[in-house]
């Protein structure tokens, strides 16, 4: 095995400039188990960031399901096979009854991309609304809808940026007003709305969970103007937000389309778009959708195993309980360290906004970066989010227990002491 310095140099030489690694001192891990990652020396790191390995790194049931199906059959998706139908039937039972079709893909980006194609075709509209610091994926279409890409972002054609429902800096209702304004601008420009696409916990915008009533109002405006609602559950889905399996359920709205990804295969690349059958039928009348790997037998067995573990280990419940414990501990730290301006989130999806001054609320981006790197030096992995990267993002695998939360809180206290001394 190469040492970390050689690996880093080789990576830069071979993979080129588009990639970014986490941490000033990038982590070279060789093994994972539960909430732990291990480096080559056997040093353990508490993973408090990874929502992909959602049921725990290398969960034995998921590993076994992948291995056994891979040993039996894996092929493209144009033959009859039991795995996709068995999975679809079971998985769709997790959704409101209006959402009864699924298209399997390999990535969340493909799911969002398909959602937009369907929305534009079915509504005959073009206008799409996304929040001001959203991230929705890697295709050229989605890059134009992902301002979180930063400096290089180029807004796509007929894309409107709306405010995030920022509970810390803006009045309740600002998000709805921003939707109304975008719809009015579309009307004036002669652009028919196609969809509102939103991440149901606004992960990249800074982690917000608006009141149900506000979301219902926003949704009603879009629908009245003829647009569809696409819920991006790639980050918040699969029980992470604790009280519900899917983020949109917290708001009491049923989207037309729901995109899913990251935790769906616990690291195996499997993703999907779930939605109203009429929409898929209308789309299918005029277009075909063929995704070579999307819904292959191995992916379906992986996703099925993840779903079973989520249920049998009651991980949504755990997200709710441990998330609550963690937020309480963070509130205690906030009373000691004024650099903590706000604590947000649901279940095991938590944002801790760092600021300089509670009145000014100046984003403390440098402090946030220092906290993340110092936590990493103490073997605890978190990251940041938000337009200024000033919000600590804590989003561990759902097998994160109280003792892990205690360790995180204790270490965060030490680090805050150090960075604010």
Is residue 384 involved in binding ligand PMP (CB under 6 A)? no
Q: According to CB under 6 A, which one of 227, 255, 261, 323 is a site residue for ligand PMP?
A: 261
Site for ligand PMP in 210-249 (CB under 6 A): 232, 234-235
Give the C-alpha separation, 412 to 127, whole Å: 43
What are the backbone dihedrals phi and psi of residue 98, each rounded to the nearest 5 degrees, phi first? -70, -25
DSSP 126-178: -EEEEETT----SSHHHHTT-GGGGGG--PPTTEEEE----TTTS-TTHHHHH
What residues numbered 268-287 form the site for ligand PMP, per CB under 6 A?
A: 271
Residue 135 C-beta: closest distance to ligand PMP, Å: 5
Sequence-ordered list of residues with C-beta below 8 angstroms from that of 55, at least 6 positions apart, any chain: 62, 263, 266, 306, 309, 310, 313, 315, 397, 398, 399
Contact 386, 133 (CB under 8 A): yes
Closer residue to ligand PMP in complex, CB, 54/107: 107
In the complex, what is the shortest distance from the CB of residue 385 to ligand PMP, in angstroms, rounded to a whole number? 10
Structure tokens at 140: 């050229």
DSSP 266: B
Segment 159 to 218, residues that bind ligand PMP, using CB under 6 A:
199, 203
Q: How far is the CB of 260 from ligand PMP (least distance, A)?
A: 10
Least Å from the CB of residue 73 to ligand PMP:
25
Q: Select 127 or 294, whichever has its Cβ closest to ligand PMP.
A: 294
Pull the structure tokens for residue 304: 């099925």
CA torsion 351-352-356-358 (nearest 10°) is 100
C-alpha 154 chain-centroid distance: 22
* Chain position carrying tokens 């699924």: 102
The answer to whether 25 and 386 are in contact (CB under 8 A) is: no
Residue from 32, 34, 56, 108 binding ligand PMP (CB under 6 A): 108
Q: Return the number of the residue (57 or 262) whose C-beta is nearest ligand PMP.
A: 262
**Do you know the residue count of the chain?**
421
Q: Which is nearer to ligand PMP, 56 or 261 (CB)?
A: 261
Closest CA to 209 of 158, 260, 243: 243
Q: Which is nearer to ligand PMP, 109 or 178 (CB)?
A: 109
Q: Which is nearer to ligand PMP, 123 or 235 (CB)?
A: 235
Of 112, 123, 266, 318, the one binding ligand PMP (CB under 6 A) is: 112
Q: Of these, 50, 54, 103, 107, which contacts ligand PMP (CB under 6 A)?
A: 107
Complex with ligand PMP: residue 256 or 333, whichever CB lies closer: 256
β-strands 193-199, 127-131 pairing? parallel
* CA-based R_g, the chain, Å: 21
Task: Determine the size of the site formed for ligand PMP (CB under 6 A).
Answer: 16
Site string for ligand PMP, 129-158 (x = CB under 6 A): ------xxxx--------------------
Say if CB 270 and CB 104 are below 8 A apart.
yes
Smallest distance from ligand PMP to CB 34, Å: 23
List the structure tokens of 307. Answer: 């779903």
Between 124 and 152, CB nearer to ligand PMP: 152
Please choose, out of 8-16, 108-116, 152-160, 366-374, the segment that lies near ligand PMP by the rule CB under 6 A: 108-116
- Write a three-state SS string for 342-398: EEEEECCEEEEEEEECCCCCEECHHHHHHHHHHHHHCCEECEEECCCCCEEEECCCC
265 contributes a contact to ligand PMP by CB under 6 A: no
Residue 103 has φ and ψ, to the nearest 5°, of -115, 125
The overall longest dimension of the chain from CA atoms, in Å, is 64
What is the nearest approach in angstroms of ligand PMP to the Cβ of residue 10? Answer: 24
For ligand PMP, the closer CB: 108 or 295:
108
Stretch that binds ligand PMP, among 53-61, 105-113, 311-319, 377-385 (CB under 6 A): 105-113
Residues near ligand PMP, by CB under 6 A: 107-109, 112, 135-138, 199, 203, 232, 234-235, 261-262, 271
């Amino acid at each position: 095995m190469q040492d970390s310095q050689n690996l880093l140099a080789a990576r830069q030489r071979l993979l080129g400039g588009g990639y970014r690694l986490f941490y000033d001192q990038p982590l070279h891990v060789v093994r994972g188990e539960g909430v732990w990652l291990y480096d080559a020396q056997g040093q353990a790191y508490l993973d408090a960031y990874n929502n992909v390995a959602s049921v725990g790194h290398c969960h034995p049931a998921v590993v076994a399901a992948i291995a056994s199906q891979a040993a039996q059959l894996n092929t493209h998706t144009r033959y009859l096979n039991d795995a996709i139908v068995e999975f679809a039937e079971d998985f769709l039972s997790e959704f409101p009854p209006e959402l009864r079709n699924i298209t399997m893909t390999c990535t969340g980006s493909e799911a969002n991309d398909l959602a937009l194609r369907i929305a534009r075709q079915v509504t005959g509209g073009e206008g799409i609304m996304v929040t001001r610091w959203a991230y929705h994926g890697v295709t050229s279409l989605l890059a134009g809808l992902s301002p979180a890409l930063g400096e290089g972002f180029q807004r796509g054609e007929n894309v409107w940026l709306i405010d995030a429902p920022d509970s810390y800096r803006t009045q309740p209702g600002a998000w709805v007003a921003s939707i109304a304004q975008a719809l009015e601008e579309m009307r004036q420009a002669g652009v028919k709305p196609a969809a509102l696409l939103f991440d149901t916990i606004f992960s990249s915008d800074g982690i917000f969970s608006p009141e149900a009533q506000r979301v219902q109002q926003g949704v009603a405006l879009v629908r009245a103007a003829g647009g569809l609602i696409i819920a991006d559950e790639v980050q918040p889905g699969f029980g992470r937000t604790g009280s519900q399996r899917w983020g949109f359920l917290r708001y009491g709205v049923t989207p037309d389309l729901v995109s899913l990804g990251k935790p769906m295969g616990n690291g195996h690349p499997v993703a999907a778009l779930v939605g109203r059958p009429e929409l898929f039928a209308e789309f299918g009348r005029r277009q075909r959708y063929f995704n070579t790997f999307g819904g292959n037998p191995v992916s379906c067995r992986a996703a099925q195993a993840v779903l079973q573990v989520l249920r049998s280990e009651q991980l949504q419940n755990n997200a709710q309980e441990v998330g609550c414990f963690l937020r309480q501990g963070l509130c205690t730290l906030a009373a000691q360290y004024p650099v903590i301006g706000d604590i947000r989130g649901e279940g095991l999806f938590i944002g801790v906004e760092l600021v300089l001054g509670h009145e000014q609320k100046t984003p403390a981006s440098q402090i946030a970066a220092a906290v993340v790197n110092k936590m990493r030096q103490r073997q605890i992995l978190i990251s940041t989010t938000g337009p200024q990267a000033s919000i600590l993002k804590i989003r561990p695998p759902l097998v994160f227990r109280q003792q892990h939360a205690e360790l995180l809180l204790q270490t965060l206290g030490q680090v805050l002491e150090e960075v604010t001394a």
